[in-house]
Structure 1
Amino acid sequence: MKKLMISVVAAALVLTMAGCGSKDSGGTKVKFATDAAYAPMEYMDKDKVAGFDIDFLAEVMKEAGLAYSVTNTGWDTMLTSVQQGKEYQAGISSVSITDERKQTYDYTAPYFESTNMILVKEGSPIKSALDLKDKKVAVQISTTADTLMTKIMGGDNKSLKRMDNNTLALMELESNGVDAVVADIAIIREYVKNNPNKKFVSIADAKNFESEYYGILLPKGSDLKAKLDPAIKKVIENGKYATVYKKWFGQEPDTKKLLDQK
């Protein structure tokens, strides 16, 4: 559910290695880029990238028999670099599979179901996405949340505050600068879990916020897809995916629904 449009501004590189496959990969290391600012999916834990995506990737690369590294490049640099396919051959960073992106990139098979969610303060009259039309709402700029709320509120609506990241959007809600935040379900749930005393309420709206699916981002024509797709399927089917999912989210994933996606 991250940014839909590629900015030409590159973020500073912060290098960190996430691990390597245990099997021989013929001496070739696949270099992944990520934007480690999206806990619990990917974030910096001291000098290492951690999160659901990183643990999932470790299982996939082990299954595929490929050595790899993960570098925290920032969002814009990841998109640009993966498109070029030279310095980085893939990107994993909660990247939603969209028709727009498919014109520029290839994707692996889907590996995560997501949707947007509303966060409000306790006692708020807001119950659904349509209730946000005349409210002040914060979103991360150029995300699917931004796209959805632009459709509901209008592109020129000054009450729709487009922030550089979700942290700033959440801070805006805390300081009463907005009535609600719309963001990825994993982000909202993690925030509520980590701030039990702040009296926030999360609201799901399946009618107005449809499911989206994350995939590993690849350059057009990449031969990695043929190697990663079977490994992703195997990890989902053999229970390792569920183990990683439960570690980060405390519940069983709907693997059947995930495997049914094309």
Structure 2
Amino acid sequence: MGLFTRKILRIFIIFLFIMSVSSSFAEEWKGACEKNYPPFNYINKNKKLGMDYEIINLVMRKLGVKYSVHNDSWDKVHALLKDEEVDFAWQFVSTPERQKLFYLVGPIRYGLHAFMVRKSSTMINWHKLSDFDKKRIGIVRKYNYTTEFDNYKNFTKVEFANNNDLIIGLTKGFVDAIIGDFYTLSFEARTNNYTKQVRFLPSSVKKIPRYVAFSKKNKDKSIAFGNALKTLIQTAEYKEIIKKYSAL
């Protein structure tokens, strides 16, 4: 093969790559997130709201990409992305298993895990997980918390479908404590008038980075999204979104 022919072939390959990337960006991206995870994403009078919705929308506007969002249970969102029925989904905690399954981009923000108990609970605070030994701890099905918590065996984990059910389970005495995002549990308690029945234990678990996950067939999209996110995190518009919802 001559030098001229090799150059032509190289140009042709680059052209095909550019065309394939351009085509993937021209089509509507399919996203998914949990239907009821306020204040990060939730639906109010058929309007989609929340901190993560606004961040995702900010990035997609930067990219100039049309996208749709399917709202469902967390189990279903995870399954849709794993089966590559959607291109991306949020908001994921990074784990070794998920790093093998998806491209994790971000973090788009940070969460704060905290324990909530009934106001009548004798627990005042906690310092180590063994303080919960023999107790029943409510969790959301398919969520990942910290590695230490996920692997701890000396208390019973009781699964619930979502954060609203989690708080209801606590108020009804099905569990002794629940773990979840501080802002989400605060929002749910205020919205559903549970504030007089529950309280947080003062010590938090850990500041948790949250990611947008892309299916393995969408590497180019994940890279583009990540680059746009890095730029936008430094902007006043992004910081205003965080500030607005943190004040809820």
Q: Equivalent residue of 2:103, what SS? A: strand
Larger mean CA deviation between 49-58 and 164-173 belongs to 164-173
* TM-score (normalizing by structure 2): 0.77
Return the alpha-carbon distance in structure 2 between the equivalents of residues 48 and 71 of structure 1: 13
Determine the structure 1 residue equivalent to 2:30.
31
Distance 1:131 1:125, change over 3 A: farther
The match for 1:5 is none
Is 1:142 paired with 2:142?
Answer: yes
Q: Are 1:198 and 2:190 counterparts?
A: no
Offset at residue 246 of structure 1 (A): 1.6
Alpha-carbon RMSD across the aligned residues, in angstroms, is: 2.5
Tell me which protein shows more strand as a share of its residues: 2
The DSSP-based 3-state class of the residue aligned with 1:57 is helix
Structure 2 match to 1:48? 47
Matches within 5 A, 1:62-81: 62-81=61-80
SS at match of 1:143: coil
> Structure 2: which amino acid aligns with 1:49?
K
Contact 1:114–1:184 (Cα < 8 Å) also in 2: yes
TM-score (structure 1 length as normaliser): 0.74
Contact 2:43 2:49 in 1 (8 A): yes
Counterpart amino acid of 2:140?
Answer: Q
Report the CA distance shift for 1:83/1:226 in structure 2 as closer, same or farther (over 3 A).
Answer: same
Find the partner of 1:89 among 87, 90, 94: 87
- Give the Cα–Cα distance (whole angstroms) in 2 for the partners of residues 79 and 136 of structure 1: 25
Measured in 2, the distance between the counterparts of 1:33 and 1:197 equals 30
Corresponding pairs, count: 220
Q: Following TM superposition, by how much is the alpha carbon of 1:144 offset from its aligned partner in structure 2, in angstroms? A: 2.3
CA contact (8 A) 1:82 1:218 kept: yes
Moved more, 70-79 or 30-39: 70-79
Q: How does 1:1-20 map to 2 (within 5 A)?
A: none
Deviation at 1:101, TM superposition (A): 0.3
The equivalent position to 1:220 in structure 2, one of 194, 200, 216, is 216
How big is the shift at 1:132? 1.6
For the 8 Å contact 1:34–1:78, the answer to whether it is kept is yes
The answer to whether the aligner puts 1:176 opposite 2:173 as a matched pair is: yes
Q: 1:211 aligns with which of 193, 207, 212?
A: 207
- One-letter code aligned to 2:56: L
Change (3 A) 1:226 1:160: closer
Answering whether residue 210 of structure 2 is matched by residue 244 of structure 1, we say no
Identity of aligned residues (%): 21
User: Which of 99, 117, 120 does residue 117 from structure 2 map onto?
Assistant: 120
Cα distance in 1 between the residues matched to 2:40 and 2:73: 14
Query: Using a 3 Å threshold, how does the CA distance of structure 1 residues 26 and 164 change in structure 2: closer, same or farther?
Result: closer
Note if contact 1:43-1:50 (Cα within 8 Å) is conserved in structure 2.
yes
Alignment correspondent of 1:60: 59
Moved over 3 A (4+): 145-154, 192-197
Aligned residue for 1:162, secondary structure, equals: strand
Distance in 1 separating the partners of 2:75 and 2:182: 22
Q: Is the 8 A contact 1:111 1:215 kept in 2?
A: yes
Distance in 2 separating the partners of 1:108 and 1:26: 17
Match of 1:101 in 2: 98
Question: In structure 2, do the counterparts of structure 1 residues 62 and 177 end up closer, same or farther at CA, with 3 Å as the change threshold?
Answer: same
User: How far apart are the structure 2 equivalents of 1:150 and 1:235?
Assistant: 33
The alpha-carbon deviation at position 66 of structure 1 amounts to: 1.4
Q: Is the 8 A contact 1:133 1:152 kept in 2?
A: no
Q: If each structure's helix is expressed as a fraction of its own residues, which one has the higher value?
A: 2
Alpha-carbon shift at residue 171 of structure 1 (Å): 1.0
